[in-house]
């Protein structure tokens, strides 16, 4: 990549046509304007955005292009929405290999097609060598709220139960294992996946019972549950024995001095649901391919301090705090 690829002239035009339009092709992108004209939408709109700065760009089980689609689709799904339209902006470092950019764009296109969403708008800028790091992607998603679903981080109530859709920490450990300087190797691959199908399956049978949905990405389960506890003004009590963590992930975390509860996931969701619907929602999750290892991991309690606590067996308990410092930079 050279600076001229981001200058808005003929080289930019050619890059867009040859790399991005081919990889992401759809009728809206093909309009060729600086905006996409899209059909009207039924119902309330949901909008979300994320920057992706993951390092390395290619890691076991995924890459930055695929991760961006999954992360954005999931933020929409966690808003109870059907994901529809995505936009992608690329900030590329001068000297970055065109073949790698092509691979990322192709992977992004594939992930979008699998998730039945379209990347309808994009932009490319190139910065000088040493002013970026390969490529950064920012992705925004727009979707439409599913009928009968009203989820929000402030809707957890004492008595609700806390469910997680599968094993914790796979993404973070996979990305760390892709960093050469750490010199460790596992067979763990990222769990990167689009969760809107799982949410639709849960919502179809238990829509009104779903109070909160959130994907425990950066900061892991610990950050997500602390956020939800703060937003809802409640406490949460977890049962350590119920937390699904792969043996290899637990071992890698021990090696790296990490707690799996702080490690990022990219294909898991946390659901806080009405107590009486708990078993039913859990069954719905387990009958979906992306929720086979779902588990009921805790309950919501009254707590003016809004703490997340974990019972550790034999009557022991510890507070699950979110991290203050940086443990896993550039994990997504």
Near a second copy in 102-121, by CB under 8 A: 120-121
User: Helix, strand or coil for residue 59?
Assistant: strand
CA–CA dist 165, 15 (Å, integer): 40
- Residue 122 interacts with a second copy (CB under 8 A): yes or no: yes
CA–CA dist 46, 81 (Å, integer): 7
- Residue 85 interacts with a second copy (CB under 8 A): yes or no: yes
Closer residue to a second copy in complex, CB, 78/285? 78
Alpha-carbon separation of residue 259 from 34, 233, 239, 310 (angstroms): 45, 25, 15, 13
Does residue 81 contact residue 194 with C-beta atoms inside 8 Å? no
DSSP characters for 307-327?
A: -EEEE-STT-EEE-PPPSS-S
User: 1, 20, 50, 64: which one contacts a second copy (CB under 8 A)?
Assistant: 50
Give me the residue label for tokens 């649901």.
Answer: 273
How would you classify residue 78: left for phi > 0, otherwise alpha for psi between -120 and 50, otherwise beta? alpha
Near a second copy in 210-249, by CB under 8 A: 214-215, 217-219, 223, 227, 231
Work out how close the CB of 16 gets to a second copy at its nearest, in angstroms, rounded to a whole number. Answer: 11
User: 18, 22, 25, 44: which one contacts a second copy (CB under 8 A)?
Assistant: 44
Q: By CB under 8 A, how many residues form the interface with a second copy?
A: 84
Draw the binding track, 7-36, toward a second copy (x: CB under 8 A; -: no contact): xxxxxxx-----------------xxxxxx
For residue 116, the tally of other CB atoms under 10 A from its CB is: 13
Closer residue to a second copy in complex, CB, 143/235? 143
Closer residue to a second copy in complex, CB, 42/289? 42
- Residue 192 interacts with a second copy (CB under 8 A): yes or no: no
User: Helix, strand or coil for residue 228?
Assistant: helix
Closer residue to a second copy in complex, CB, 40/316? 40
Work out how close the CB of 158 gets to a second copy at its nearest, in angstroms, rounded to a whole number. Answer: 20
User: Helix, strand or coil for residue 64?
Assistant: helix
Closer residue to a second copy in complex, CB, 123/239? 123
Tokens for 40?
A: 């009207």
Work out how close the CB of 199 gets to a second copy at its nearest, in angstroms, rounded to a whole number. Answer: 12
CA–CA dist 287, 284 (Å, integer): 5
What are the residues facing 319 on neighbouring strands? 309
Work out how close the CB of 329 gets to a second copy at its nearest, in angstroms, rounded to a whole number. Answer: 5
Work out how close the CB of 279 gets to a second copy at its nearest, in angstroms, rounded to a whole number. Answer: 26
Does residue 265 contact residue 215 with C-beta atoms inside 8 Å? yes
Near a second copy in 136-155, by CB under 8 A: 136, 138, 140, 142, 145, 152-154
Work out how close the CB of 4 gets to a second copy at its nearest, in angstroms, rounded to a whole number. Answer: 4
């Amino acid at each position: 990549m050279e600076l001229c690829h981001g200058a808005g002239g003929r080289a930019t035009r050619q890059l867009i046509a040859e790399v991005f339009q081919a990889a992401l092709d759809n009728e809206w992108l093909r309009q060729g304007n600086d905006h996409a004209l899209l059909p009207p939408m039924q119902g309330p709109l949901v909008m979300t955005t994320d920057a992706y700065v993951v390092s390395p760009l290619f890691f076991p089980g995924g890459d930055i292009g695929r991760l961006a689609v999954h992360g954005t689709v999931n933020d929409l799904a966690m808003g109870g929405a059907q994901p529809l339209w995505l936009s992608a902006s690329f900030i590329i470092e001068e000297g970055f290999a065109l073949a790698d950019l092509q691979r990322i764009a192709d992977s992004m296109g594939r992930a979008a097609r699998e998730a039945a969403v379209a990347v309808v708008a994009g932009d490319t800028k190139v910065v000088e060598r040493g002013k970026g790091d390969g490529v950064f992607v920012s992705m925004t998603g727009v979707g439409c709220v599913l009928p009968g679903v009203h989820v929000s981080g402030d809707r957890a109530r004492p008595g609700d139960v806390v469910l997680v859709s599968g094993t914790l920490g796979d993404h973070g450990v996979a990305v760390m294992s892709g960093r050469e300087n750490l010199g460790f190797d596992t067979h763990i691959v990222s769990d990167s996946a689009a969760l809107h199908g799982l949410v639709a399956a849960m919502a179809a049978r238990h829509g009104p019972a779903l109070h909160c949905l959130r994907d425990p990405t950066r900061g892991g389960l610990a950050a997500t549950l602390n956020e939800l506890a703060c937003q809802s003004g409640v406490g949460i009590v977890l049962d350590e024995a119920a937390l699904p963590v792969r043996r290899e992930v637990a071992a890698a975390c021990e090696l790296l001095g990490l707690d799996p509860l702080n490690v990022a996931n990219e294909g898991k969701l946390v659901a806080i649901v009405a107590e009486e619907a708990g078993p039913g929602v859990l069954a719905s999750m387990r009958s979906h391919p992306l929720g086979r290892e779902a588990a009921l991991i805790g309950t919501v309690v009254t707590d003016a301090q809004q703490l997340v606590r974990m019972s550790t067996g034999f009557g022991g308990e510890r507070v699950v705090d979110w991290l203050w410092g940086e443990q896993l930079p550039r994990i997504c």
